[in-house]
Chain A
Amino acid sequence: MRFNDLVQVELYKVFRKPRTYIAFAAITAIVSVIQLGFYADGKSYMQFGMQSLSDTFEVQGNILNGYLMTYLILQLLLVHVPLLIVLVSGDMVSGEAAHGTLRLLLTKPISRTKLLMGKFTAAFIYTMMLLLWMAIWALGLSLIIFGADDMLILKSEVVTQIVSTDILWRYLCAFGYAALAMTTVAALGFLLSIFADNSIGPIIATMSIIIVFTILNSLDLPFFNSMKHYLFTSHMLGWKGFFDVKLNEDNQQIVGSIENLPAILNSALVLFAHIIGFLALAFLSFRKKDVLS
Chain B
Amino acid sequence: MPSTVLRATALSKSFGDFHAVKQLDFAVKQGEVYGFLGQNGAGKSTTLRMVLSLIRPSSGNIEVFGKSLMNDRNYILSRIGAVVEKPELYGYLSAYKNLEIFARLSGVSPNKDLLMQTLKWVGLDERAHDPVRVYSQGMKQRLGIAVALVHDPELIILDEPTNGLDPQGISDIRNMILDLSRNKRKTVIVSSHLLSEIEQVADSLLIIHKGQKAVEGEVAQLLRPEKSRVEWWVSDSRKALSVLYGKSNAAEFNQLDDHKFVAVMPASETAHFNAILVENGIEVRAIRSMNALEAYFLSLTSEHAV
- Residues of A at under 8 Å CB distance from B? 1, 5-6, 9, 12-13, 16-17, 99-101, 103-111, 288, 290-292
Closest A residue by C-beta to B89: A101
- Determine if A292 and B55 form an interchain contact, defined as CB atoms under 8 angstroms apart: yes
The stretch of B36-44, B99-107, B162-170, B198-206 in contact with A is B99-107
- Determine if B88 and A1 form an interchain contact, defined as CB atoms under 8 angstroms apart: no
- Residues of B at under 8 Å CB distance from A? 49, 52-56, 73-78, 80, 82, 84-93, 101-102, 104-107, 144, 147
23 A-B pairs with CB atoms under 8 Å apart are A1-B105, A1-B107, A9-B104, A13-B101, A16-B90, A16-B92, A103-B49, A103-B54, A103-B85, A104-B87, A104-B89, A104-B144, A106-B54, A107-B53, A107-B77, A107-B84, A108-B77, A109-B76, A109-B77, A109-B78, A109-B106, A110-B74, A292-B55
Q: How far is the CA of A71 from the CA of B203 in the complex (A)?
A: 72
Q: How far is the CA of A101 from the CA of B93 in the complex (A)?
A: 13
Residues from chain B with Cβ under 8 Å of A101 in the complex: 88-90
- Determine if A290 and B54 form an interchain contact, defined as CB atoms under 8 angstroms apart: yes
- Determine if B86 and A5 form an interchain contact, defined as CB atoms under 8 angstroms apart: no
- Determine if A99 and B91 form an interchain contact, defined as CB atoms under 8 angstroms apart: yes
In the A-B complex, the 7 residue pairs with the smallest Cβ-Cβ separation, listed nearest first, are A100-B88, A109-B78, A109-B77, A291-B54, A108-B105, A109-B74, A290-B55
Q: How far is the CA of A233 from the CA of B58 in the complex (A)?
A: 40
- Determine if B101 and A9 form an interchain contact, defined as CB atoms under 8 angstroms apart: yes
Interface of B is mostly: loop
Residues from chain A with Cβ under 8 Å of B104 in the complex: 1, 5, 9
- Determine if B52 and A111 form an interchain contact, defined as CB atoms under 8 angstroms apart: no
Q: How far is the CA of A107 from the CA of B64 in the complex (A)?
A: 14
Residues from chain B with Cβ under 8 Å of A99 in the complex: 88, 90-91
- Determine if A109 and B75 form an interchain contact, defined as CB atoms under 8 angstroms apart: yes
Q: How far is the CA of A110 from the CA of B52 in the complex (A)?
A: 12
Interface of A is mostly: loop
Residues from chain A with Cβ under 8 Å of B90 in the complex: 13, 16, 99, 101
How far is the CB of B104 from the nearest CB of chain A, in Å? 6
From the candidates B53, B91, B144, name the one contacting A106 in the complex (CB within 8 A). Answer: B53
Residues from chain A with Cβ under 8 Å of B77 in the complex: 107-109
Residues from chain A with Cβ under 8 Å of B88 in the complex: 99-101, 104
Residues from chain B with Cβ under 8 Å of A16 in the complex: 90, 92-93
- Given A103-B84, A291-B49, residue A12 in contact with residue B101 (CB < 8 A): yes
How far is the CB of A21 from the nearest CB of chain B, in Å? 13
Q: How far is the CA of A106 from the CA of B106 in the complex (A)?
A: 10
Closest B residue by C-beta to A292: B55
Residues from chain B with Cβ under 8 Å of A104 in the complex: 82, 84, 87-89, 102, 144, 147
From the candidates A100, A108, A290, name the one contacting B106 in the complex (CB within 8 A). Answer: A108
Closest A residue by C-beta to B159: A103
Known: A101-B90, A107-B77, A109-B73. 9 other contacts (CB 8 A): A9-B101, A12-B101, A99-B90, A104-B84, A104-B87, A104-B89, A104-B147, A106-B52, A107-B53
How far is the CB of A70 from the nearest CB of chain B, in Å? 35
- Determine if B84 and A105 form an interchain contact, defined as CB atoms under 8 angstroms apart: no
Q: How far is the CA of A16 from the CA of B104 in the complex (A)?
A: 17
- Given A13-B90, A288-B56, A290-B55, residue A107 in contact with residue B82 (CB < 8 A): yes
Residues from chain B with Cβ under 8 Å of A17 in the complex: 92
User: Looking at A9, A103, A292, which has the most chain B CB atoms within 10 Å of its CB?
Assistant: A103
How far is the CB of B144 from the nearest CB of chain A, in Å? 8
Residues from chain B with Cβ under 8 Å of A291 in the complex: 49, 54-55
How far is the CB of B15 from the nearest CB of chain A, in Å? 8
Closest B residue by C-beta to A287: B56
User: Looking at A6, A108, A110, A111, which has the most chain B CB atoms within 10 Å of its CB?
Assistant: A108
Q: How far is the CA of A107 from the CA of B92 in the complex (A)?
A: 21
Q: How far is the CA of A64 from the CA of B75 in the complex (A)?
A: 63
- Determine if A111 and B106 form an interchain contact, defined as CB atoms under 8 angstroms apart: no
Q: How far is the CA of A41 from the CA of B239 in the complex (A)?
A: 105
From the candidates A1, A100, A107, A288, name the one contacting B52 in the complex (CB within 8 A). Answer: A107
Q: How far is the CA of A107 from the CA of B81 in the complex (A)?
A: 8
